[in-house]
Amino acid sequence: MATTALLECPICDFTVLPDSEYVLQLHFEQVHTTDSPFRIEGEEVLPPPLPPRPSPSITQLNDDSAASSEEEEDTVLPPLPPRPSSKSKQPKHDGDTPSSREDQGTVLCPELNCGELVLLTDFNDHLDYHSAETLSFDESTGKYHSHQPANMPGATADPKGSSKPSFLERKSSPGLPDASHRNEDANRKLKKKAHRGRGDSMSSEKSTLSRSILSFNPFAKANKMVKPPPGSVRLGKDELGPHAWEDRMPKWLHEQLAAGPKITNVNRIGRDGRLIKQEQVQNETPGIIPILAQLSAIDHTVKEAYYCHPSTLHIGKTPKEGGFCGYRNIQMLVSYIQGAKAQGFEEFPGRTPGILKVQDLIESAWDKGINEIGRAQTGGIKGTRKYIGTPEAQAFFLGTQIDCAVELFTDSPDGQIEAHEQLFSAIEQYFAQAAFKDDSNVYKTLLPPIYLQQPGHSTTIVGFERRINGSCNLIVHDPMYHTSPAMHRLLGRRNIRTARPEVLHAYRRGAKQLKKHAAFEVLMLTAHPPLFPAWDV
C-alpha cells in the first residue's frame, strides 16, 4: 500500500494527517508564536499527536498475531509525564518573607501627581482631601468652591468643566451621592468585606500598624508588647511599600530631591504700606496655625481647642514623588525646632533639611547603634523610596541628640476602649499641660507638634478640638496634600470673624476617620519648649 503523505511543521518534527491542517496551524500558534492570541501562558499545551501507524498487510497480521499477543501481555507502557500545574509559582526574592507579600488591602490613588498606595478603608476620605486641597473662594458669589480632579475615575464633569460632586456639595446636600460612589473598583473590594457592626469598627477588621518601634526599641515602655514580624527580620512590601526591594530610586526623582523644592520671590505690600520681598517655597506653607486657631475660636460647635507652637510649617509632597510622608513629617518637626530655636536647632542651620539629608542622618544614627535593627529590617534606606515610620523618626532625633519619646495606643483587649479614644485623651492631656488662655476658647501653647503614625500613613498633629457635643478632632498637617487656595487667601489675617468649616475640613481628623484603625503610634519631642511670646510675633 502507498504511504500517506503527512503534513510537517516547518520548525519541529510535528506531523499530522493531510486532513488535519487546522491542528498543524494551532500547533504553530501555540508552540512557535510567542504573541499569539491562542497561546495560553501557565496552562498545559497538548502534546503533538503521534503520526498514524501504517496499516499492516493480512500476511503480516497472520505471521505476527501470536507473537504480538504474547508481547502485549508483558509490555508495560511508560508512565505519563506529570501534568504541569496551571498555577506557576513565582520565584521568591532572596530574603523574602511572608510579610513581604503585596498588601491586597490597598489601592493606588488615581490622582496623577499623588502616586500613593492608600488603604481601602481610607480611600473615600483620601479622595475627599484631594478635593479639599482645591478649595477656593469666589469673590463674585461669596462662596467656596472645590472640584474633583478630572482624572479621578467616576467623576462626572458638568458643562462648565468642574467635577461633581465635590466634598462641599456632599456636606451641604445629604441627597447627593457619597464619595464611595466615585470609584466602583474600590467599592467592589470594600463590599467583599464582611458586614461590620458598631459603626464599621469591629476589631477583627480594623487595620493595624505593619511594624512598631516597641517590638525592638530599648526606650519603649515595658508593659507594651508587640509581636515581631514573622520569619526573617528583613521586611517586605507590606511594611516598606511597593519599592521595598529597590537599591536606588529613579534618577529623575533623585535629581528632583537633590535640587530641592522650587523657590520663588514675591513682592507684597505690608500693613504699613512698604514693599516686602517674600520667599515662597514650593511645598512649604508658614503661618497656617494662627489661622486655624482663629477658625476654631469662631466655630460655635467647638468648646475648647489647643494649638502647638505657631512656627511649625506645613510641608507637603512635590509632584509624583510617591510615599515620603514619614520624611515630610520629620521635616515638619524640624521646622518647629528651627523656628522656635528649640533643642537641637544648631544641627539644622539654613533651610529645612531635604529628604536625602534626612536619609543620611537616619543611617548615621544606625551607625551609632541607635535603633540599628532598622537597617536589617529595611536593608538600608539611602537613595531609596522605602517607607519609614516611627523607628526611623526616633533614630533621626536621638541621633542628633534631641530628646523624644514614643507611645503606642491599641484597642483594649475587651474592646471597651478603642485606640482612637485613647489617642484623643492623651493628646488633650499633652496640650492641657502648657495651655494658657487669651479670653477665648482656644489655648495657644508653645509645645512642639507631634508625629502621628497610623496604619499606612503618618501625619503631624498641630492641634486638638473638643466640640460641644463631646466629640473630638485632631488638627493635623498632612504631607499628602497641598495647602488650598482658600487657606492661602487667609494667611496673615488677624481678624477673621466668619466661621469657615470648609477650610477647617482639610485639617480635622475625627473619630469617623480614625476608628477604622486598631493602633496608633506617636513620637513627641520632650525637651522644654522655649518661653517667649511667639504668637505675637
Would residue 141 count as lying in a domain? no
Helix, strand, coil percent content, the chain, rounded in steps of 5? 30, 15, 50
480 lies in some domain: yes
Q: What is the DSSP letter of 532?
A: S
- Which of 318, 373, 334, 328 is CA-nearest to residue 525? 334
Which pTM value belongs to this model?
0.70
Q: So what's the pLDDT on residue 114?
A: 75
Which is higher by pLDDT, 131 or 279? 279
For 256, list phi and psi in degrees, rounded to 5. Answer: -65, -45
- When pLDDT is averaged across residues 269-290 and rounded to a whole number, the result is 81
Q: What is residue 536's predicted lDDT score, i.e. its pLDDT?
A: 63
Domain assignment present for residue 227? The answer is yes
Around Cβ 226, how many Cβ atoms within 10 Å? Answer: 19
* List of E strands, 275-403: 275-281, 284-285, 302-307, 314-315
Find the mean pLDDT for residues 259-288.
81
Whether residue 56 is preceded by a cis peptide bond, meaning omega within 30 degrees of 0, is no
Amino acid at 80: L
Residue 395 CA to residue 363 CA, distance in Å, equals 9
Using CA atoms, how far apart are residues 188 and 296, in angstroms rounded to an integer? 38
CA 147 – CA 167 distance, rounded (Å): 8
User: Which of 29-33, 113-117, 196-200 has the least mean pLDDT?
Assistant: 196-200
pLDDT digit string, tens, across residues 425-448: 999 999 998 877 667 889 999 999
For residue 510, the model assigns a pLDDT of 95
Distance, in Å, from the CA atom of 359 to the CA atom of 348, rounded to the nearest integer, reads 14
Would you tell me the crossing angle of helices 355-367 and 251-259 to the nearest 10 degrees? 100
DSSP letters, 62-87, are HHHHHHHHHHHHH--PPPPPPPPPSS
Q: pLDDT, tens digit, for every residue of 74-96? A: 444 444 444 333 333 333 444 44
Least confident of 67-71, 141-145, 426-430: 67-71
Q: 404 pairs with which residues across the strands?
A: 525
Residue 505, in any domain of the structure: yes
- 356 versus 441: the higher-pLDDT residue is 356
Q: What is the mean pLDDT of the chain?
A: 76
Distance (Å, whole) CA 373 – CA 391: 9
Which percentage of the chain shows pLDDT scores above 90? 42
Bridge partners (DSSP) of residue 284 are 315
* Rounded distance between C-alpha atoms, residue 266 and residue 287, angstroms: 16
Q: What is the pLDDT of residue 354?
A: 96
Q: Give a yes or no: residue 437 inside a domain.
A: yes
Q: Is residue 278 part of a domain?
A: no
Instruction: With residue 521 as reference, give the H or E element that holds it.
Output: strand 519-525
Q: Answer whether 225's CB lies under 8 Å from 219's CB.
A: no
Q: CA 265 to CA 280: how far, in whole Å?
A: 6
Q: What is the CATH number of the domain that holds 292?
A: 3.90.70.130
Tell me: the pLDDT tens digits for 149-178?
Answer: 544 433 333 333 344 455 555 554 443 334
Given this model, what pLDDT does residue 104 score?
A: 54
pLDDT score at 411: 93
pLDDT exceeds 90 at position 475 = yes
In this prediction, residue 401 has a pLDDT band, given cuts at 50, 70 and 90, of very high
Classify 248 as helix, strand or coil.
Answer: coil
- In this prediction, residue 53 carries a pLDDT of 47
The range of the structural domain enclosing residue 361 comes to 213-249+284-525
Q: What is the mean pLDDT of residues 340-355?
A: 94
Q: How far apart are CA 345 and CA 403, in angstroms?
A: 12
Q: 19: helix, coil or strand?
A: coil
Q: How many CB atoms lie within 10 A of CB 273?
A: 6
Residue 20 phi, psi (nearest 5): -115, 45
Say how far apart CA 518 and CA 417 lie, in whole Å: 11
| pLDDT in the model for residue 529 | 78
3-state secondary structure of 510: strand
pLDDT digits (tens, 9 = 90+) for 203-236: 667 888 888 876 655 444 444 444 544 456 899 9
Whether residue 186 is predicted with pLDDT greater than 50 in this model: the reply is no
- Here the cell at position 433 is 499641660
d(CA 418, CA 413): 9
510 Cβ partners below 8 Å, 6+ apart? 471, 472, 473, 474
* Residue 89 forms part of a structural domain: no
Has residue 12 been placed in a domain? no
Rounded percentage of the chain residues whose pLDDT exceeds 70: 66
Instruction: Report the domain count for the chain.
Output: 1
- pLDDT, position 525: 97
